[in-house]
Structure 1
Amino acid sequence: MLNLPPYRVLQVEDTDGDYHIKAETVSPPERCVHCGSDALVGFGRRENWIRDLPIHGKRVALSVDTRRFRCKSCGKTFYESLPNVDSKRSMTVRLKTWLEKRSLRHPFTHLAEETGVSNTTIREVFDDYGRQLQDSLRFETPEVLGIDEVHLIRRSRAVFTNIPSCYVIEMLPDRNKTTVGRYLSELPDKRRIWCVAIDMWRPYQDAVREALPGIPVVVDKFHVLKMANAALDALRKTVGGTISPQKRRALMRNRHLLLKRFSDLNEIQRKRLEEWGRDFPLLSKAHRAKERFYDLYEASSRSDAAKRYKEWDASLDNEIRPTFGPLLTAFQNWEGPILAYFDHRVTNACTESANNLIRAVQRMGRGYSFDVLRARILFVRHGAHRMKPFRKPRLLDKPILAEDDIGYGLPSRGTEREDISLGVDTVEILNLIEKGEI
């Protein structure tokens, strides 16, 4: 019934939802664990309760009558060891292995109800397994590194991606300069990185400059364009406060006409926008200014982009200049990293996509800690990782005879295979979310 050869089943009690199985070890110890003598005598027993895998949909608790022995030679006593039992917890090794795999995909409360193991113990199993996976998994340093943040469990968490491949490579507990800088400084093969894309968060820039000196920093263009749209939308709300409720609701329903590029509007939408422009000249001016700012990112070079920005700045009407105040300030403070886009042409769209998927995983497992969410994203090994073989030298100072070379030639230097992860594929994360497997 148990399929555990080291144990003999003595009694089975079938209760509602549980099996209580009394068992004992088949082979008691023959020698003293202290001195090695075989002069042993029985010296009492104690009952140990051990959890095992469910059977027939019922929880299983083993009651093992553990024998105690006394050594005649050294006088010391000891209990027999229980084979197939985890050394840290009162559960079988196979149950611990089963919980490790399942805890990455299922709620702890569900596993606790299914096995009879407490939530706390399952969390401990999960934590140990997460550390084991983290120690055994190596990520390749990307050529283009993306840094952004996602708000999880009342705090912003830094997310790192391999931009060309759109793979997630790390999540940190916060986005502070110290935390980000420590991670960047510990990256292997930092010379591989030729560009870092960030949003306008000063600690990111400072951490990159200290940990990766000389590496260009590019401010994501979508964050910059988002500020232009936000300025226009803020003006729409201000204008809406001065008109009748009916017109305000109509203006709100058509706000997408203001935020879309004029070239993307159809003929009907353009006429509607022109009507709003006649009714609200200030809004029309701001819309045209927003469109001209978007044209900046169609520049062919950095110098061309700088020229276009100066012309845009000079052309701003004094009536709408306060509307674009935050954008003007941001460009003044971040001009170098913003214009660096025209040297490298990279964006953080991949990281933004990863953030949305991470939020979706959080919604699927409400109540989980950040460590659990991070493990679910980074350490679930069922297709999400993109691995490549990596061979590292082994014992370089001692040539090793390859098996096929023995007796046939010169010794070859050994190599040790190690799997290296390129990152967690966001497409596969999406597939796992849709299947409910993460």
Structure 2
Amino acid sequence: MYDWLGLEHLYATGRPIIEDDIDRLYEMPACTRIQERQRKFFRIPPSWPVKSVTVPCASIDPDTGFEDHFCIKGEPNIIRHGHGDFTASDRRIANAPTSLLIDRQRFRCRTCGKVWSEAMPDIREEHEMTRRLHRDLAIASTEDPFQKVAARYGVHEKMVRTIFHEYSAAMLEGFQFDLPEVLGLDDTRLLGHPRLVCTDVREGKILDIFGFFVIRG
């Protein structure tokens, strides 16, 4: 078992598989040995053109979902029913787009014949990515342009935009806006830098002071 993956419910069942820019596949240790030989021969650190990384994974303790299963024919009798592969994007390894190839357990109820797959708490199945990558994308999308975030994490720009809208809707749900009747805006210089001061004109209060900014024409 390889427990370096850092996920609570998944572990790596093997070493990462690296695909280079001419579609050759290597296990991570083999890739490292090739780099060492190149470094020794050329006497300079070589650049390794990694195109993608795939990590084989499995659940530490597959959840049968017994509590969520309602058998329409009586007492449920749940057994294992083979496996299926599920691919989910994750944080980058070797600065390349990284995917988890999950060996997902399937279950079947002998009583009613229903078949389902195990739950994966570490995965956002609707987006086919880990929850930690989803969280990284949500936060990054509020700080940088969508295109820049997509390039940084190796995902499609449309995915970043979708996650941003979901995240912003969740954060703004139930939020109460408390705005003054008369909002005052004034640009001034404080501590030697231009700043924007927002005030409540009727109450005579300063609401916020925005920090240093640069205007480029």
TM range (shorter): 0.5 to 0.7
How far is the alpha carbon of 1:87 from its aligned partner? 4.5
- Give the match for residue 13 of structure 2: 10
Separation in 1 of the partners of 2:70 and 2:174?
37
Separation in 1 of the partners of 2:154 and 2:144?
15
Secondary structure, aligned partner of 1:141 = coil
Cα 1:61–1:104 shift into 2, 3 Å = same
TM-score normalised by length of structure 1: 0.33
Q: Give CA-to-partner distance per residue, 1:207-256, whole Å, 9 cap, x none.
A: xxxxxxxxxxxxxxxxxxxxxxxxxxxxxxxxxxxxxxxxxxxxxxxxxx
Native 8 Å contact 1:69 1:80 kept in 2? yes
Secondary structure, aligned partner of 1:83 = coil
- Give the match for residue 89 of structure 2: 51
Cα 1:30–1:45 shift into 2, 3 Å = closer
Q: Give CA-to-partner distance per residue, 1:147-193, whole Å, 9 cap, x none.
A: xxxxxxxxxxxxxxx21xx3xxxxxxxxxxxxxxxxxxxxxxxxxxx
Per residue, is there more strand in 1 or in 2?
2
Aligned length: 161
Q: Give CA-to-partner distance per residue, 1:271-304, whole Å, 9 cap, x none.
A: xxxxxxxxxxxxxxxxxxxxxxxxxxxxxxxxxx
Structure 1 vs Structure 2 CA RMSD? 2.8
- Give the match for residue 427 of structure 1: 210
Separation in 2 of the partners of 1:141 and 1:98?
31
Cα 1:71–1:134 shift into 2, 3 Å = same
Q: Structure 1: 5+ residue runs without aligned partners?
A: 145-161, 167-349, 354-383, 387-421
Separation in 1 of the partners of 2:178 and 2:103?
51
- Give the match for residue 28 of structure 1: 62
How far is the alpha carbon of 1:385 from its aligned partner? 10
Separation in 2 of the partners of 1:13 and 1:87?
23
Cα 1:114–1:38 shift into 2, 3 Å = farther
Native 8 Å contact 2:64 2:118 kept in 1? no
Secondary structure, aligned partner of 1:35 = coil
Separation in 1 of the partners of 2:92 and 2:119?
23
Superposed counterparts of 1:364-383, under 5 Å: none
- Give the match for residue 88 of structure 1: 126
TM-score normalised by length of structure 2: 0.64
How far is the alpha carbon of 1:426 from its aligned partner? 5.6
Separation in 1 of the partners of 2:198 and 2:161?
24
Aligned partner of 2:101 among 46, 55, 63: 63
Q: Structure 2: 5+ residue runs without aligned partners?
A: 20-49, 188-196, 200-205
Aligned partner of 1:133 among 157, 166, 171: 171
- Give the match for residue 147 of structure 2: 109
How far is the alpha carbon of 1:13 from its aligned partner? 0.7
Aligned partner of 2:53 among 19, 32, 37: 19
How far is the alpha carbon of 1:114 from its aligned partner? 2.3
How far is the alpha carbon of 1:82 from its aligned partner? 1.1
How far is the alpha carbon of 1:56 from its aligned partner? 4.4
Separation in 1 of the partners of 2:86 and 2:5?
16
- Give the match for residue 99 of structure 1: 137
Cα 1:110–1:385 shift into 2, 3 Å = farther
- Give the match for residue 40 of structure 2: none
Q: Give CA-to-partner distance per residue, 1:34-72, whole Å, 9 cap, x none.
A: 237673223232221101122343322111111211111
Cα 1:59–1:385 shift into 2, 3 Å = farther
Separation in 2 of the partners of 1:385 and 1:22?
53
Separation in 2 of the partners of 1:38 and 1:14?
43
Q: Which structure has the bigger radius of gyration?
A: 1
Separation in 1 of the partners of 2:154 and 2:210?
36
Native 8 Å contact 1:8 1:25 kept in 2? yes
Separation in 1 of the partners of 2:170 and 2:8?
28
Separation in 1 of the partners of 2:61 and 2:102?
13
Separation in 1 of the partners of 2:80 and 2:134?
31
Cα 1:87–1:30 shift into 2, 3 Å = closer
